[in-house]
Structure 1
Amino acid sequence: MITAGIDKRLLQKRFSQNAKTYDQYANVQKTMAGKLMDLALRAFPATGFHPPREFRILEIGCGTGFLTSQLLRHFPNASITAVDLAPGMIEIAKQRIAGESVDFRVGDIEEMDLDGTYDLIISNATFQWFNQLPLTVKRLFDVLGQQGVLLFSTFGPRTFEELHASFELAQQRFGLPDQERPGQSFYSSSELKKRVADALDPSDYQIEHSESLEVERFHSVRDFLTSVKKIGASNSNAGPHCQRPGVMKAMIAIYDRQYREEDTIPATYHAIFIKIGKL
């Protein structure tokens, strides 16, 4: 369960700095985007919308525009607004989608004003960075049009389970209390549903969820840690999170010894997909 707040300025800085390398390393995020797009097409068959019917889409955390480009392809007549906290990401997205009719905006969706209504609000691997999840869900739900859909993917608590198990053993070796863990913590699907229930009247919406485990393999633990850094997703919790070098070194050795198979080590991503439909 998430307990610490996110330092948004640090998050913005890290994602902007790593925007140019993001696509090279964000393999799981791309897989999640594909699954999210499939869910969007089931909710809104693209053939059902033609001019003059304006279909409005708000994408939150558009990053380098990978999902944005898919939205354009499947909903060519839609009006798309794409928002990201990091200006560096927006610049890459604009290069990818040059000349297309997407309204790109730099901003924090938890703070920025939302205008008009949207048929589809969609977000890939972004909701884990929210500090005010119930309040933000309520704000987004309020700008959904009639029978609109809020659809997002995020990470669940089994994400990086190998890393966390290895780190716990390393802490025990040094006689340290199990008070910290490297990286971000994440809500389970039941916790996410509870946060939604805290925000919305149960008579106003219906909710569905699905989950999957995506395993990426690396030549070394350091390669895995580098990949996390290269997409800007290093620990951005507010407050101190310094780890002892000895603990980190022990964690890497334990991880390698416990999980190595056929000259690679696994890193598990726990993907959760949430669909909230407006009744």
Structure 2
Amino acid sequence: MERDNQSIEPACIRQRFTRALNSYDRHAVAQQRISAEAAKILSLHLQPFGRCLEIGCGTGGFTRHLQRMLPNADWVLNDLCGESLAIAATHCNHSPQSIIGDAENTELGIGYDLIASTSAFQWFHDPLNFIKKLAGMQTKGGVLLFSTFSPGNLQEVKEAAGKGLSYPSGKQWEEWLAPFYNIEVCREEAIRLTFGSPLEVLRHLKYTGVTATHNGQWTRGMQEDFVRRYKQQFSTDNNQVTLTYRPLYLLAKRL
């Protein structure tokens, strides 16, 4: 099932994240918390993992957690950006195989006991077909662990800007996974950050590559309208503004 409104191309995503490469780790507060929580979930479902794949590894925020838990596994890392892959690989205990490319349309190998990913699945155009692809890559009883985002993610930006991504619900992901996996974890969380102004929110998104959620350039008038609406709707009592991430965590075992 394709998501017609999910029109962001991999080349655009790659360009935005490449531009944010030097600022990402300093500003990706929510993503770091998500990686830590995903690692905690995995730690409760550990089993012998020989061959492992991380999809959308970025600069290695989740990679570091995985390496600490599974130091002797045979790792394959994937990301759109070769520069990010090179950084993530430095966090590995042994030299991993690196695969550059859009995970939906790139050959990633087979025979995986673990496939893991954080904050990447929301970019995929056809989640159901991607789940089918992953199922074909995994061993029986293999673990699929990923985080994505749920409806209401970055809702402040979407309402103030009048546009933004839509996100499948946990129930929808469960329906996609059910023919291939036994679902053991499906849980949502809210991570609320505060900023001094709506412009700081925009800078935060730019520094973490998330500006790929909007195509095209903003005029000065559009930006002024955005700032006004954001302040009106999402100001706190101490004159800050909020930005809410809504991660969704899923862990499933291959049937």
* TM-score normalised to structure 1 length: 0.82
Q: In structure 1, give the amino acid aligned to 2:19.
A: Q
After superposition, what is the alpha-carbon deviation per residue over 1:51-110, rounded to whole angstroms, capped at 9, x for unaligned? xxx61210000000111111111111111111001122123323x427733222212211
User: Equivalent residue for 2:51?
Assistant: 56
User: Equivalent residue for 2:168?
Assistant: 187
Q: In structure 1, give the amino acid aligned to 2:176.
A: R
Q: Distance in 1 between matches of 2:82 and 2:210?
A: 16
Please list, as runs of the form range in 1=range in 2, the aligned pairs for 1:169-248 lying within 5 A after superposition.
181=163, 183-197=164-178, 201=179, 204-207=180-183, 208-235=185-212, 241=216, 243=218, 245-248=220-223
Q: In structure 2, give the amino acid aligned to 1:271.
A: P
Indicate yes or no: 2:250 matched with 1:277: no
Identity percentage of aligned residues: 28
1:255 to 230, 237, 254: 230
User: Equivalent residue for 1:176?
Assistant: none
Q: Distance in 1 between matches of 2:59 and 2:165?
A: 21
Superposition deviation, residue 225 in structure 1: 0.8
CA contact (8 A) 2:67 2:92 kept: no
Q: In structure 1, give the amino acid aligned to 2:248.
A: I
Q: In structure 2, give the amino acid aligned to 1:259.
A: F
| Structure 1: unaligned runs, 5 residues or longer | 169-180
Q: In structure 1, give the amino acid aligned to 2:75.
A: I
Q: In structure 2, give the amino acid aligned to 1:7.
A: E
Question: What is the SS of the residue equivalent to 1:112?
Answer: coil
User: Equivalent residue for 1:138?
Assistant: 132
| Structure 2: unaligned runs, 5 residues or longer | none
Superposition deviation, residue 222 in structure 1: 0.6
2:16 to 10, 14, 17: 14
Superposition deviation, residue 272 in structure 1: 0.5
The CA RMSD measured in Å over matched residues stands at 2.1
CA contact (8 A) 1:119 1:145 kept: yes
* TM-score normalised to structure 2 length: 0.90
Relative to 1, partners in 2 of residues 1:115 and 1:227: Cα closer, same or farther, differing over 3 Å? Answer: same
Relative to 1, partners in 2 of residues 1:114 and 1:88: Cα closer, same or farther, differing over 3 Å? Answer: closer
After superposition, what is the alpha-carbon deviation per residue over 1:9-63, rounded to whole angstroms, capped at 9, x for unaligned? 1111111121111101111011111111111111115xxx4xxxx6121000000
After superposition, what is the alpha-carbon deviation per residue over 1:237-272, rounded to whole angstroms, capped at 9, x for unaligned? 7xx655554243122112123322213211001111
CA contact (8 A) 1:82 1:103 kept: yes
2:64 to 50, 63, 69: 69
CA contact (8 A) 1:117 1:145 kept: yes
CA contact (8 A) 1:15 1:88 kept: no
After superposition, what is the alpha-carbon deviation per residue over 1:165-222, rounded to whole angstroms, capped at 9, x for unaligned? 3345xxxxxxxxxxxx0x332222122233335xxx3xx4212310000001111111
User: Equivalent residue for 1:104?
Assistant: 98
User: Equivalent residue for 1:78?
Assistant: 73
Higher radius of gyration, 1 or 2: 1
CA contact (8 A) 2:121 2:148 kept: yes
Indicate yes or no: 2:18 matched with 1:24: no
User: Equivalent residue for 1:5?
Assistant: 7
Q: Distance in 2 between matches of 1:196 and 1:16?
A: 31
